[in-house]
């Protein structure tokens, strides 16, 4: 299949936002969402992220009443120690007592994903970091929040926190093996990848290009770095078609797992899981699975091997 290399490899370079453009609807099992539905989904996600920002703002002001207003009346909150609080009034009182006992705390959050389900509910996953007045980190927790839409407002119906110990973060330098130039080819198509350190080795820049014989098809750039809030390796990708994507990387002993999400040039939302397996110092394989675009499930991509170019 001539499009295979383009479809299965570009997701590494640009996230899901751009790479599905070449595949179209192949492997889909659902009718694509309309442009209106895609726009509504994007608007809902934006509103949920805005509500999350409201929560952080209220927390940093010590505003328990403002926090309470962001929950449904019959909500449930399970903190990182396992304590359960039910009802908006109970949660508001708990936060009021917490702020009185712990003045000056500040929160930062990093949202890893927002999934809107049916237009009336949504699942938000992320990490919350709390610092004292001196700027020292006192707690870090991952969380899952269930939002419900009431009228035109998104409210939290359920939040569950999980303790994230303040352990050493992933070693970004472990990605040193990626640095250099790589190539993969299938039929008449060739993909070139070039990884290099930038910004005093705080980030990695990836440039890629795809050619059909000698004719350029597309190109793009990805910036890979360490999120100082969550401690995760993340990436931002931009493609010459106009699509863009974001990935969250999990570094393993012999590879990488990347949870990606993005937006295609015409606005369709995309997600996928990408599995990178290091074969040896000069080759690695990559496969894209759990792929969705505009509400459609796509077939898993085939595993493809990239080879390091000779120096």
**Which strands make up the sheet holding 71-78, listed edge to edge?**
84-86, 71-78, 153-163, 137-150, 121-131, 106-117
Question: Residue 128 has which token pair?
Answer: 């919350």
Q: Is pLDDT of 299 > 90?
A: no
Per-residue pLDDT at 20: 36
Lowest mean pLDDT among 9-13, 99-103, 153-157: 9-13
Query: CA 6 to CA 21: how far, in whole Å?
Result: 10
Contact 155, 147 (CB under 8 A): yes
Residue boundaries of the structural domains of the chain: 4-30+169-308, 35-163
Please state which CATH number belongs to domain 35-163.
Answer: 3.10.450.50
Q: What is the pLDDT of residues 30-76, one digit of tens each?
A: 445 556 666 777 889 899 999 999 999 999 999 999 999 999 999 99
18 or 215: which leads in pLDDT? 215
**Range with the lowest mean pLDDT among 10-14, 81-85, 94-98?**
10-14
Q: What is the mean pLDDT of residues 256-277?
A: 90
* SS3 of residue 172 by DSSP: helix
What are 170's two structure tokens? 């992933």
| 224 close to 206: Cβ distance less than 8 angstroms | yes
3-state helix, strand, coil in the chain (%, to 5): 25, 50, 30
The CATH class given to the 4-30+169-308 domain equals mainly beta
Q: What is the reported pLDDT for 155?
A: 97
For the cut 50, the answer to whether the pLDDT of residue 23 exceeds it is no
C-alpha to C-alpha distance for 103 and 105, rounded to whole angstroms: 6
Which tens digit of pLDDT belongs to each residue from 90-136?
999 999 999 999 999 999 998 988 888 888 999 999 989 999 988 88
Which stretch of 3-17, 118-132, 158-172, 248-262 has the lowest confidence by average pLDDT?
3-17
- The answer to whether the CB of 183 falls within 8 A of the CB of 190 is yes
Contact predicate 56/108, CB 8 Å: yes
């Amino acid at each position: 299949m001539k499009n295979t290399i383009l479809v299965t490899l570009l997701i590494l370079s640009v996230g899901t936002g751009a790479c599905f453009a070449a595949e179209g609807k192949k492997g889909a099992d659902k009718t694509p969402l309309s442009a209106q539905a895609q726009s509504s989904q994007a608007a809902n996600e934006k509103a949920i992220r805005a509500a999350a920002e409201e929560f952080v703002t209220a927390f940093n002001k010590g505003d328990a009443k403002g926090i309470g207003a962001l929950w449904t009346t019959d909500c449930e909150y399970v903190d990182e120690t396992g304590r359960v609080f039910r009802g908006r009034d109970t949660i508001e009182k708990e936060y009021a007592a917490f702020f009185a006992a712990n003045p000056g705390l500040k929160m930062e959050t990093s949202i890893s994903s927002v999934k809107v389900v049916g237009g009336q509910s949504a699942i938000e996953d992320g990490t919350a970091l709390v610092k004292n007045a001196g700027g020292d980190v006192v707690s870090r927790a991952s969380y899952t929040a269930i939002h419900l839409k009431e009228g035109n407002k998104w409210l939290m119906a359920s939040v569950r926190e999980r303790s994230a110990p303040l352990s050493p973060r992933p070693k970004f330098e472990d990605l040193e093996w990626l640095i250099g130039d790589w190539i993969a080819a299938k039929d008449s198509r060739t993909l070139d990848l070039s990884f290099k350190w930038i910004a005093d080795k705080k980030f990695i820049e990836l440039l890629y290009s795809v050619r059909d014989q000698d004719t350029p098809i597309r190109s793009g750039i990805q910036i890979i770095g360490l999120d100082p809030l969550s401690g995760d390796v993340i990436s931002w990708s931009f493609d010459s078609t106009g699509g863009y994507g974001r990935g969250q990387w999990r570094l393993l002993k012999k590879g990488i797992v990347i949870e990606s999400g993005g937006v295609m040039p015409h606005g369709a939302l995309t997600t996928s899981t990408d599995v990178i397996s290091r074969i040896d110092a000069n080759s690695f394989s990559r496969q894209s699975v759990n792929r969705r675009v505009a509400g459609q499930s796509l077939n898993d991509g085939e595993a493809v091997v990239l080879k390091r170019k000779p120096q």
